[in-house]
Amino acid sequence: MNTPAPRRRPTDAAHDDETRFDRLTSRAVRRRSIGLLRDLLRPHVRLLVWAAVLVSASSAAQVAGPWLVSLAIDVALPALPGDVVPLAAVGGAYLAAAVLAGVAIGTYRRVAARIAQNVLLDLRRRVFRQTQRLSLEFHESYTSGRIISRQTSDLEALRELLDGGLVGVISSLLVMLFTAVGLTVLDPVSGLVLMTGFLPAWFLMRWFRKHSQAAYREQRTWSARLIVKFVETMTGIRAVQAFNREATTEAEYDRIGQAYRDANLRIFGINGRFAPGLLLIGNVTVVVALAVGGWRVLEGTLAVGVLVAVLLYVKRFFAPIQQIAMFYNAFQSAAAALEKVSGLLAEEPTVVEPAEPVDLPAPRGELRLEGVRFAYGDGPVVLPGLDLTIPAGQTVALVGTTGAGKSTIAKLVTRFYDATDGRVLVDGVDIRDIASPVLRRNVVMVTQEAYLFSGSVAENIALGRPDATREEIEAAARAVGAHEFVTRLPEGYDTEVNKRGGRVSAGQRQLLSFARAFLADPTVLVLDEATSSLDLPGERLVQRGLQTLLADRTAIIIAHRLSTVEIADRVLVLEHGQVLEDGSPDELVSHGGRFAALNAAWQDSLV
């Protein structure tokens, strides 16, 4: 991204798109990624061992086949026709081996899937929980598309590694190891030849790791960008269509898609050299073993029989090499994906949970701001130093132009952000010392953007209090005047609100989100432009509801419409983060200051 960040970008999020790191960073990032993988697999060690046993048993049973055939020919056949016992024994053994091989491979597949799916579920939960835990500040720069790509395509890469023979590779490696040992014992010289073949293989692996790491990082980054662009376009499809932007958007998507395709091609290219390269090394080693062995046979220092065995061993040693190459490739892909995921998981929320939380046993709802200074990151200071006390039960309206700091106060009181300096206290307790479930139960904010989740109307209201009964949900809807329109929906409270509340108008959405707050029944309620899209009758109903609701609780109301302000006990006129006027609406009107002027303008606009 080439945006010069006006705000402090929370830690790693901005570097998320980097693909080429210096050596040190690269190592650290890789270590973090492998560490996460290890951490995810740790609880499944027993299952992993069991899977390895199963896959080894299955291969052993399958390998036993040819041996049993030779046994049949060498032992059982000569015994015929007199003695059928050896034939029966060998035949029986063959059938047993077949059953073992089949059952073991089937069970292995199941166990491997269980490991993979458990790991994925674990990781999905971790990422989800982390997403919910991180502060708003993080979300404002990370973008939803990137989180979605972490949860979908990055996890897919890990799944491929787990499904694609994480365990199978162990048995392959074991086979290779045993073969190498067997060969060396049989004929040390040939063992040496095999070791020599190992050397270029090691260099090739190193080359592959270096290049595929960068390529996979690039692929992950472009894949995320592709997702970001897609999500943004589909979310804003009405605007795209209304402004004839289809061609431009398509060109942009095409550009990213091509970059993604090229990244994939680069990976294919690297792989297209790596896999045949390993094969080449294997085949050449066989040739060298043949040449050296053949020479020694001709010299008379090696028996032909031994050479046959040597060649079989060498060939078998390299047989699983394609599988290893595929595994290593999947591993690099998953590691690059886990780099991104572990980066997200390593983010620390800027709003930190208290180490020793203080409870609010009998919350009253007194709010106090002491010398609160606030700036978004390195940006300009929004609140230079605010002292403010709101007694329990008071309804305060914040009035002022855009940028006066109204919403900032709301975000500080609800702890969406922490103050740069100074303290925010609820009932005398610093809100940084209150555990977030306690804080959220007592301090609730309703914002202008009334987001509805897919699900029924009732479920959306119940977000305010998940254990609410249907009666309570309907009572909340009635209290804010949402009941009428809800009952007119095709299935009333059980109507599914479509994507982004498609069928529910903006005003109705605000009513539903008000009903949520009603249901939540908090000690302190913060309303940030929560009625902007309501029509006047709707607003009147909400206000009537509010008067009941706010009678005994603390409230901060931010509204451009002074009609909402009328129900306040006290009005604060803000400018540049400072309180210009402070008093009851009537006092301020008679005082003849800024609020009086605003009020006059508003009265004029009414009919």
Partner 1 sequence: MPSTPAGSTLSTFASIRRLHPYVRSAIPPLAGGLLSALGASLAALAIPHVLQYVVDGPLARGVATHDWTGLAWSVVLVLAFGLAEVGLVALRRNLVMFPGTRVEHAMRMAMFRHLQDLPAAFHDRWPGGQLLSRVMADLGLLRRWLVFGLLQLVLNVCTIAVGVGVLVATAGWLGLVYLAGALPVVVIVFRFSRRYRVISRRSQDQSGDLANTVEESVHGIRVLKAFGRGSDALHSFTGQADTLRRTELHKAGVDARLMAALTLIPELTLGVCLVLGVWLTGTEQMTVGDLVLFFATTAVVGGPVVDLGMSLSMTINARSAVDRYFEVMETAPELTDPERPVALPADSRGHVALRDVAFAYPDAGHPDRAVLRHVDLDLPAGTTTALVGLTGSGKSTLAMLVPRIYDVTGGQVLLDDVDVRDLARHDLRRHVAVAFEDPTLFSASVRDNVLLGVPESGPGAVGEAERDRRMHEALEVAQAGFVHDLPDGVDTRIGEEGLSLSGGQRQRLALARAIAARPRVLVLDDPLSALDVTTEEAVTRRLAQVLHGTTTLVIAHRPSTVALADRVAVLEDGRITAVGAHSELLATSAHYRHVISSLEEDYVSHDHPGSAVTPADEEVSA
Q: How far is the CB of 540 from partner 1 (least distance, A)?
A: 6
- Find the shortest distance in angstroms from Cβ 568 to partner 1: 16
Within positions 190 to 219, which residues make up the interface with partner 1, using CB under 8 A?
A: none
- Confirm or reject binding of residue 516 to partner 1 (CB under 8 A): yes
Minimum CB–partner distance for residue 355 and partner 1 (Å):
19
* Residue with smaller CB distance to partner 1, 22 or 471: 471
Helix axes 168-186, 45-71, angle to 10 degrees: 50
3-state SS class at 583: strand
Residue 466 engages partner 1 in binding (rule: CB under 8 A): yes
Q: Do residues 531 and 561 lie in contact, with contact meaning Cβ atoms separated by under 8 Å? A: yes
Sign of the alpha-carbon torsion through 474, 478, 481, 484? positive
Min separation Cβ 91 and partner 1, Å: 4
Q: Hey, which residues between 114 and 133 contact partner 1 (CB under 8 A)?
A: 114, 116-118, 120-121, 124-125, 128-129, 131-133
Give the H/E segment covering residue 324: helix 321-346
Contact 4/339 with Cβ under 8 angstroms?
no
Which candidate, 537, 548, 545, places its Cα nearest to that of 514? 545
Q: Of the candidates 38, 42, 46, 66, which one interacts with partner 1 according to CB under 8 A?
A: 66
> Which 236-295 residues touch partner 1, going by CB under 8 A?
236-246, 248-250, 253-254, 257-258, 260-261, 264-265, 268-269, 271-273, 275-276, 279-280, 283-284, 286-287, 290-291, 294-295
H helix intervals, 134-242: 136-142, 144-149, 155-163, 168-186, 188-235, 237-242
Task: Rounding to the nearest 10 degrees, give the CA dihedral for residues 607, 396, 431, 426.
Answer: -150
Nearer to partner 1, 143 or 394 (CB): 143
CB of 274 to partner 1, least distance (A): 10
CB-nearer residue toward partner 1: 30 or 530: 530
Cβ contacts of 523 within 8 Å, gap of 6 or more = 363, 364, 365, 442, 443, 553, 554
Site string for partner 1, 573-602 (x = CB under 8 A): -------------------------x--xx
Nearer to partner 1, 30 or 463 (CB): 463
Side chain identity at residue 266, one-letter code? R
Position among 65, 188, 428, 592 found at the interface with partner 1 (CB under 8 A): 65
Asked if 95 is part of the footprint of partner 1 (rule: CB under 8 A), the reply reads yes
First to last CA, the chain: 50
Q: How many whole angstroms separate alpha carbon 468 and alpha carbon 474?
A: 10
Q: How far is the CB of 23 from partner 1 (least distance, A)?
A: 29
Amino acid at 134: L
Closest distance to partner 1 from the beta carbon of 376 (Å): 10
Q: Are β-strands 395-399 and 554-558 bridged in parallel, bridged antiparallel, or unpaired?
A: parallel
CB nearer to partner 1: pick between 122 and 370: 122
Residues 298-317 that bind partner 1 (CB under 8 A): 298, 300, 304, 307-308, 311, 315
Query: Do strands 455-456 and 554-558 pair parallel, antiparallel, or not at all (unpaired)?
Result: unpaired
List, in sequence order, the alpha helices (H) in 427-490.
436-442, 457-462, 470-479, 483-488
- CA 378, 380, 385, 388 torsion: positive or negative? negative
**Which residue lies nearer to partner 1 by CB, 21 or 417?**
417
- Cβ proximity to partner 1, 423 vs 440, nearer residue: 440
Specify the residue, 31 or 499, whose C-beta has the smaller distance to partner 1: 499
Q: Does 497 bind partner 1 (CB under 8 A)?
A: no
Q: Which amino acid is at 416?
A: F
Residue from 337, 391, 96, 77 nearest 217 by CA: 337
Report whether 193 contacts 108 (CB < 8 A): no
- When the beta carbons of 3 and 22 are compared against partner 1, the nearer one is 3
Burial group, residue 20, by CB count within 10 angstroms (0-12, 13-18, 19+)? exposed
471 is a contact residue toward partner 1 (CB under 8 A) = no
Indicate whether 297 belongs to the interface with partner 1 (CB under 8 A): yes
Give the shortest CB-425-to-partner 1 separation in angstroms: 19
Cβ atoms of 439 and 431 closer than 8 Å: yes
Binding residues among 417-436 for partner 1 as defined by CB under 8 A: 436
Rounded to 5 degrees, what are φ and ψ at 520?
-65, -30
Would you give the binding string for partner 1 spanning residues 372-411, x where CB under 8 A is met?
A: ----------------------------xxxx---x----
In whole angstroms, the minimum distance from the beta carbon of 348 to partner 1 comes to: 16
Taking CB under 8 A as the criterion, which residues in 518-577 touch partner 1? 520, 529, 532-538, 540-541, 544, 560-563
CB-wise, 379 or 592, nearer to partner 1? 379
Q: Does 168 bind partner 1 (CB under 8 A)?
A: no
Task: Tell whether residue 152 is a contact of partner 1 (CB under 8 A).
Answer: yes
Residue 361 within binding range of partner 1, rule CB under 8 A: no
- Contact between 495 and partner 1 (CB under 8 A)? no
Binding segment (CB under 8 A) for partner 1, from list 62-70, 185-193, 200-208, 362-370: 62-70
607 touches partner 1 by CB under 8 A = yes
List CB contacts of 220: < 8 A, sequence separation 6 or more: 153, 154, 157, 336, 337, 339, 340
Binding partner 1 (rule: CB under 8 A), the pick from 23, 42, 45, 81 is 81
d(CA 69, CA 91): 9
* Residues comprising the chain, all counted: 607
| Structure-block tokens of residue 521 | 């029944």
80 touches partner 1 by CB under 8 A:
yes
Q: Is 148 an interacting residue with respect to partner 1 (CB under 8 A)?
A: yes
Complex with partner 1: residue 205 or 306, whichever CB lies closer = 306
How many residues sit close enough to partner 1 to count as binding (CB under 8 A)? 186
317 with 180: CB under 8 angstroms? yes
Q: Which residues of 182-216 are buried (b: 16+ CB within 10 A; e: fewer)?
A: ebbeebeebbebbeebeeebeebbeebbebbbbbb
